[in-house]
Every structure is written in structure tokens, then in C-alpha cells.
Amino acid sequence: MPNILLVEELEMCRDMLPRRLKRKGFNIAVAREGSEVIKMAQSEYPDLILNNMDLAVKNGQTAIKELKADDATKSIPIIALTRYESDIEQAYAVGCDDYEPVPIELPRLLEKIHKWLSTRDNK
């Protein structure tokens, strides 16, 4: 089962999205802030990261830059979760591989997850 790291500070989203993804056969770990995702990514090496771009403590953009600068984590695909269209360009600029608009449409997100997992498997 693929391992996904979800970075989300809202409790409702930390509960709902992981449950939906677990039912689809994924192992889900959850980080609440940017500094936590960096530690977890470096110790657990997830297959993919879903990163909320709107984090308050250590913002999602800073965390992504650090992950993409680290040789150990730079190849992990990152899908930015954002409710603001203006964040999409910024997500790509800091190193995200894809984005998913919020509110999330699960079928579309699953398509993206499978695409990036298969890309990673082929490397």
C-alpha cells in the first residue's frame, strides 16, 4: 500500500480526507504544520505528499522549498492543496509537482495520486 503524508492544520480535514483515502487503499500519515512535514518526510519517506498551501505556523511554501532542496526528499511528488487560484502558480514555483483545488473532488485527486505514484515507480 502506498504511503501518503497529508499536511493539514484543520482538524476536520485531517480526519475526513485520510478516512476517504484509507478506504481507497492508502496508508496515511498526517502532519499539522510545515516543520512537522519536514521531519516526517525525512524519517518516513512517503511515496507522495499532499500539502495544504495555507499553513500558518511554517507555511506550506517554505516546507516545500526545504523538501525539494534535500537530496533525501526531493524526488517525493508533492500535490499542493489550495483554495486560492492565485496559489497555483506559486505552488509550482516552490516545487510542487501538481495541485488540487479545494474543495477536493476525490475522483480527480485519486487520478492525480495514481499518476504521480506510477511516475515515481518508473524511476
In sequence order, the β-bridge partners of residue 29 are 5
Q: Residue range 76-84: average pLDDT?
A: 93
> Given this model, what pLDDT does residue 58 score?
58
Digit-coded pLDDT (tens) for 37-79:
999 999 999 999 999 887 655 577 888 999 999 999 999 999 9
> Given this model, what pLDDT does residue 86 score?
85
Show the DSSP H helices in the chain as ranges.
11-23, 34-44, 60-69, 86-94, 106-121
The CATH code of the domain that includes 97 is 3.40.50.2300
Structurally, the chain folds into a number of domains equal to 1
Domain of residue 50 covers 3-121
**Is 44 in contact with 38 (CB distance < 8 Å)?**
no
Digit-coded pLDDT (tens) for 92-108:
999 999 999 999 999 99
Closest CA to 47 of 7, 92, 108, 5: 5
Residue at grid coordinates 511528488: 77
At residue 9 the predicted structure's pLDDT band, cuts being 50, 70 and 90, is: confident
